[in-house]
Structure 1
């Protein structure tokens, strides 16, 4: 099989901000975006519980352009789902980085798939080992196998990025026809909460991280783009590649490999929540923060209320054929 070349990418100085797997609460501001009564919208904040990889985009992309006060809290998506399922949080809007979590532990009657992402290898240009990755991006898996390099990743029990890192390495073992990269490269002491992972990476304690592309783009990290067969971004590779890997969450739920899919639903419906949801699922801020947009987004699944489909511009409803949502 012809191998696709891995390409190092660097955008230093674009936007420096620490993304959060931890709690971030913000009070929104009134600007030009959204619709509805501004006084009413600002008096009752819309609470959003979301995937940690969206933290920076929501704070700096969504919040400034909605006509409502918003409270944003971010964690790993599996943790988000568990908090709601156990009654620890009751947000107006929930956003997860893997729509499989909407098939348990969360079971909303409808949701919208609105963006995608890709797995990349981000590396620290200031460390000697990071520079080794920059010098030989096609052999990134060989460089990462070195005892000297410090690799970081998030927890697969709490975060889809964590189990997608496992998926990527399983697929890479097959793609590069090499030994099992999961057992060769991964150790328990590489796992950090997303916020701690980012800080360790930025201070040079970690030479490289398995990350989402948007995390690297919006923070200006150098990174290696991976072949489409293993980066979980391409709908055409779901059947032959992504679907061949899986991971079992602590609650016993088995998550199957597929395209990275971010989904959101409104749990407490109101005019203000619908306005925020509209911008959240259709806003240009997503592309600006490194997320992947397709013509089919947002794609509605389930018994989507008619006023949601009408309000959310460009929505595509396909409850009978979920895979159609990912067709380019």
Structure 2
């Protein structure tokens, strides 16, 4: 199925330019991880696929100033673990990164996503994807300039490989797609991936559904047996894996975003509540379920109270929670 979000292309390009500039400023200056003596803002270090949603959806929805820095989630985890960044809130696109290397005392799983094949209908390669009876045929034939992210740096990269492997098994007439489609020249940073459409560098890209929806790009929805979005197929997803340079093996699983507060404060809890439950998630194309947010570990009472919106409970929790 081909789906199109109704956002004008010019509006999309302007939004990408603004968000990209903001993200680049954060990456270069490290502002989302730095702390100033008189700084009352909340710093969020987040998965690259969340950058646009945080800048355009969360920021206008809260009263607290927010500073955002975005990278691939594996890079985010490494920067925090190695002490390169010290943000108030950390959000990653794979909760496995909270098991290793971050290991926070608690975190919330709060949204999901799906892997899709986004394409640019204004290029010859993009039109080949749009017109293909089988979406993978032009990729196998090499008729499309494809973009994807680095599996060593972020979950979207290894989830793309998982999707290709699962697709190779799912379609009776497909070759081993994980072996024949990937090429190192296809790799771009997650925060810049879809922006490559603007420069004409690529025709199509494996992306998260939200990345295509919030930017107004056409995309091919993939079967739920391979797009890592459906809990009913979790056992199937677990049959694929990728080994990181560290030697750690990542197994396929349902896409799950996690977030935690590292520097407790009333402002951070307020932002965290909006970040993990706000309607901007739906508007940005993320997938939410009734069970979200789901907590792991020793969650502070003040955090639960902030998320639930219980004023009396929050007041009581604030008396005993660290600030």
Report the TM-score, using the length of structure 2 for normalisation: 0.86
SS of residue paired to 2:238: helix
Q: Which structure's residues are more often helix, by fraction?
A: 2
The answer on whether the counterparts of 1:167 and 1:246 sit within 8 Å (CA) in structure 2 is yes
State how 1:217-232 maps to structure 2 within 5 Å.
Answer: 217-232=213-228
Structure 1 residue runs without a partner (length 5+):
1-6, 27-41, 316-328
CA distance 1:25–1:147, change in 2 (3 Å)? closer
The whole-number CA distance in structure 2 between the counterparts of 1:224 and 1:66 is 33
Structure 2 residue runs without a partner (length 5+):
28-37, 311-323
Is 1:8 the counterpart of 2:36? The answer is no
Deviation at residue 145 of structure 1 after TM alignment: 1.2
The answer on whether the counterparts of 2:23 and 2:51 sit within 8 Å (CA) in structure 1 is no
The answer on whether the counterparts of 1:104 and 1:253 sit within 8 Å (CA) in structure 2 is no
Q: Which residue in the other structure is 1:133 paired with?
A: 129
The whole-number CA distance in structure 2 between the counterparts of 1:290 and 1:47 is 23
Q: State the 4+ residue runs in structure 1 displaced beyond 6 angstroms.
A: none
Deviation at residue 314 of structure 1 after TM alignment: 8.8
Report the TM-score, using the length of structure 1 for normalisation: 0.85
Q: Which residue in the other structure is 1:83 paired with?
A: 79
The whole-number CA distance in structure 2 between the counterparts of 1:91 and 1:43 is 12
CA distance 1:83–1:23, change in 2 (3 Å)? farther
The answer on whether the counterparts of 2:128 and 2:144 sit within 8 Å (CA) in structure 1 is no
The whole-number CA distance in structure 1 between the counterparts of 2:75 and 2:194 is 18
Q: Which residue in the other structure is 1:197 paired with?
A: 193
Deviation at residue 43 of structure 1 after TM alignment: 4.9
Q: Which residue in the other structure is 2:295 paired with?
A: 300
State how 1:22-41 maps to structure 2 within 5 Å.
Answer: 22-25=23-26
RMSD: 1.9
Q: Which residue in the other structure is 2:161 paired with?
A: 166
